[in-house]
Amino acid sequence: MTVAVLGLGEMGSALATAVLDAGHPLIVWNRSAAKAETLVAKGARLAASPEAAVAEAELVIVNVQGGEIAVDLLRSVGGALAGRTVVNLTDGPSERAAAAAESVAAHYADYLHGQIMTIAPAIGSPDAVIFYGGPRPVFDRHEPILRALGGRATHVSEDPRVPLVYGLAFHDIMWGLLNGFLHAAALLGDAGIPIVRYAEQAEPALAGLPGLFPMLAGEIDRAEFATPFGALKHHLPSLEDLIAESRARGIDTEFPTYTGRLVADTLAAGHGDDSYSRLVEHFGRR
């Protein structure tokens, strides 16, 4: 199967390399042709335009900087897409995936949207995670090459928007965890405690945090927040202690104060005996 890769940034180049390593004929295009030199030396062919790349390929992989650019690129290719499959691996808000899928369908082509959940050097590895959305038969038809891009390729929905929501949810969790760690690092540093030492000694406790997610997810999906242990009311005193310690040390208090306000408001609403997952109602649609 001949594959075209449109976009040769760091991630696009990694995807193209994985295609070559899997033994597929490869055509590449990039606004700056110089970025294709290494791939051409490995056996790829450089197309003069996106249309030329698409015309010779059965599978078209798109990885550019931004969902709007991807949509514009696919629209510019137009009728050349007919009969082909587009795998768009570009980040962006979920509605960009819907717009891209609509544009591709108008030209009688199949569409999958993928969300890459790994760094470029890990592309092509057995553990690389990529989520896909779109028609399941299209995913199944191209699964071997999709697994060549990332061994843990997973079809998550018929809706092409869902992988992007998965990606945004992951980053939401990531930034929350990182900000919590960095605030803690500032606190530890002010107390003269080496951060590495803390991370090593607290690792058994820290490692248990992701294990809470399935439990919280089940409570939220069922809308059942009663809990026999760890009720929300027990969190507030510790939050107040953290705020007081931070203030006394001159550490920024905005992060714990925000969380403390959420907990206090939820307690005031009569949910003190519920699980921490009850706070999801604060973040939900208003």
pLDDT at 228: 86
Helices 254-268 & 162-190, crossing angle to 10 degrees?
110
Our separate counts of H helices and E strands in the chain read 12, 8
Mean pLDDT of 247-272: 96
The pLDDT tens digits for 75-107 are 999 889 999 999 999 999 999 999 999 999 999
Mean pLDDT of 235-248: 97
Mean pLDDT of all residues in the chain?
Answer: 96
Q: Is the pLDDT of residue 184 over 60?
A: yes
pLDDT at 229: 87
pLDDT at 170: 96
Q: Which domains does the chain have, with CATH numbers?
A: 3-158 (3.40.50.720), 194-283 (1.10.1040.10)
Q: Which of 203, 206, 205, 227 is nearest to 216 (CA)?
A: 227
The fraction of the chain above a pLDDT of 70, given in percent, is 99
Q: What is the pTM of this model?
A: 0.91
Q: Is the pLDDT of residue 285 over 70?
A: no
Q: Residues with Cβ < 8 Å from 219, sequence gap 6 or more?
A: 225, 227, 275, 277
The fraction of the chain above a pLDDT of 90, given in percent, is 96
